[in-house]
Structure 1
Amino acid sequence: MSLKVLVVDDASFVRDTVKRTLRQFLPNLELHEAVDGRRAMSVMKLNKIDIVLSDWEMPEMSGAELLQWVRNESKSPEVPFIMISSRGDRDHIVKAIQSGVSDYLAKPFTAEELQRKVVKQLNKIGYKESKRPAQRDSAFGSIDVLTGGNTEKRTVDSAPAGQQKGQNIFAKPAKVVSAKTGGFEGRAQLRFANLTCQCVVRELSLQMMTGFMVRPEQLPGLFDQAVVDLENKSGEALARLNAYVHSLQAMENNPDTQKIKIVVRFVDNDPEKFEIISKAIA
């Protein structure tokens, strides 16, 4: 029997990352996905889901609201529910556990961390892995990340009301503000799975951020997940944005240079965050 997993996140990049990782260690996998809690509810009403992995901050219906519905109104109130969030502060984690989550996974996360959390919950419900080998990524095996095509995937229509399918709220011409020209004034902290870096913001737009940072001992890789904690010049938090590494460039013609230019692209599809960035670069 297939293991039915529901992945809920408004960012397609995060959903694809989770799905790709799950396929690497779980055989007989039937993947379902949704862009917010409301669509996740629709999936769960039509399918008996074995485990839920859900983002916490989403438009339309948050992960917290979805969790309340699952525990109090759904047909599967005991289903394992793993919260995935870019908020890693202790108070938030404690509050989530008190709300009824089964476990917590902080963004950005490694494949090993995700596997450990999922396997722990599957062991609790007595799931036994099939002898059929799990799918392994290859040059062609992960082509669905680029095309969105996957015969195993059952997807609830992910286009929010009033938005055409395939359209992204960030898919409009970017308003780019250069730090040199006196537009956005602030800084950012970049959080990766295994390191945190301070970054001077060079350019900021609705789709991406360009910045300068000191070279860490271990550089992040292209397409690595990142969380951008954006601050104004007074050090006040403006936004917490999910992103991925788009490019890395040495700022000097020297292999020992300590100055790195980094470009990250935002993956959130949240109108609230969209508005925050718009105000920041206005």
Structure 2
Amino acid sequence: MAPEGSVALVTGAGSGIGRAASLKLSQAGFKIVAVDFNSKTGEETLRLVRGQGGEGIFVQADVSKHEDVERYVKATVDTYGRIDAFFNNAGVLQKFSLLENIELSEFERIMGVNVRGVFLGLKHVLQVMNKQGFGSVINTASTAGIRAEHSMAVYTASKHAVIGLTKAAAIEYVRKGVRVNAICPGGVDTALTQAVPTMMQESGYMPEEFPNMRIGRFADPDELAEMVVFLASGKSSYMTGSIVAVDGGLTL
């Protein structure tokens, strides 16, 4: 269990891994600050947290906007006075397309959420954690941050950037009591990924491993959430700058 009064800030908390992690972190004793662009799904996550006896607040925010990130961090500190764990998770998926056909607007959309959003979250939360002298950050990268994914050049680039930011932040704060790690999901059963097979078929490319994951199934979001709780806790106290593949062997 987390020490009494511990606070976890979760972006992309309205669905998928973010919702599962919010619930698992709450069960582990963290107070939850749930952040999402979608107020309806974010409020639903908060209701689920409270329904299992947990405590938390919801903050609507677009993580690609500087003022929104400042606002969700300020709301966390104003409400609870600290940030013990930050699951920097919000992200979007690219429309499948060959690189030459990707519109600039699509590039900017993906990079805005997946890179700018992660950067801004790190920038403002690390200020708080540095002053505290403690904290654990978990960024959501992807197997696309470890290898290239066909017809997903911008998404691949964005997740490589998340890994770069993770390692850079980890080395900068390694002696400041703040740990920064990343998880790399691969094939998780969420609303975001349920549309992937159709998108792949429309793009004309279907990776050999996609229909039959090496472990034989997609991950449940709870399986990723367990890793988030571990990285948020003192049980992972000697881990920083780690890029953890939770992918059922996809990248083997």
State the TM-score, normalized to the length of structure 1: 0.37
For the pair shown, the structure with the greater C-alpha radius of gyration is 1
| Higher normalized contact order (CA 8 Å, seq sep 6+, divided by chain length) | 2
Instruction: Report the structure, 1 or 2, having the larger strand content.
Output: 1
Task: Specify which structure has the higher proportion of helix.
Answer: 2
